[in-house]
Amino acid sequence: MALPVDIQALDKAFSGIGVDDKSLISILTNSNEEHKKSLRKGSSKLFIEDENGFERWDQSSIKILKHQFKRFRDAVVLSLLHPWERDARLIEKAIRKGPKHYNVIVEIACTRSSDQLLGARKAYHSLFHHSIEEHLVTHIKGRERKLLVALVSAYRYEGPGVNEDVAKSEAQILYEAINNGDKNKLLDHEDAIMILATRSKQHLQALYQHYNQSYDKTLAQDLEGEGILKDTVECLCTPQTYFTRVLEAAVKEDADEKSKRALTRVIVTQKEQLVKEGFVPNKIQDILLGLYKDFMLASIASGDIK
């Protein structure tokens, strides 16, 4: 007969992001068949008893648990891959999965150095026998295509030089494009795409400041609800805002699976950004479980993942 404490421990082992491996092993290796039967009867979150008194897995719970068990494996695989291959595979998967995943392409294109992005493009050639740009043009039919192609093709200047007059002028160009026209056509605005895809990050951050000073609101605020454009501006100009938003969405109680997967991706592939922006591990550690938790926290604390 399973004690209430065992049933509570079993439920808790699956109640966060990841799996509490140690508790699960302890409970199951010390259980006989009668004990396991009472565990099944007591754990209504995982099992359903049918009209014949048969305790069976709840199908939706099985699906959730498969994702939870995969998290540690996925984190390990991502961390072992060469950074260029890792980025190339993430981009290819995002292209296949469609518009809800295009933020992954933006995230990589806007946070990598020019040489790192060039490396990902080289890896893409080797892995998929096409260029990233070719696959974007082939598979994306919406307005996002023009911006995404421009972002992944960028080779930005990375020096300190910024022309403040040009940055201020281009802040005005973006303001007028957003506020004096049809927002639905913003992704077709040639000057807006040129500015976001070709200017250095230092230049864009200066532009962002001029925008705020001139119009008493940030460029990101003016792009609220604009999805991929807001993601682009935040990744380029205020990456701490973008990554905080992604990580906080991942650990919400009602987070969907896409949001939860982002936790692994961001922590493993954006370690430098998280350290640079002062990301604090205790923001996530209470919701993570088991080996997955250990790996994620060690990834943030160590300098091994680049």
Encoded tokens for 14: 């699956």
The annotation status of 42 as a binding-site residue, yes or no, is no
Q: How many CA atoms lie within 13 A of 280 on its CB side?
A: 3
Cβ density class 232-267: b for 16+ within 10 Å, e for less: bbbbbbbbebbbbebbebbbeeebeeebbbbbbbbb
The pairing of strands 288-289 and 47-49 is unpaired
Q: How many helices (H) and strands (E) does the chain have?
A: 18, 4
Q: Are 208 and 238 in contact (CB under 8 A)?
A: yes
Q: How many CA atoms lie within 13 A of 300 on its CB side?
A: 21
> Would the annotation count 16 as a binding residue?
yes
Cβ atoms of 13 and 20 within 8 Å: the answer is yes
Which residue, 252, 239, 167, is CA-closest to 210? 167
Q: Which two tokens stand for residue 148?
A: 């995404």
Contact (CB, 8 A) for 139 and 97: no
Residue 69, marked binder:
no
Annotated binding site for Ca(2+): 14, 16, 18
Q: Residues forming the annotated binding site?
A: 14, 16, 18
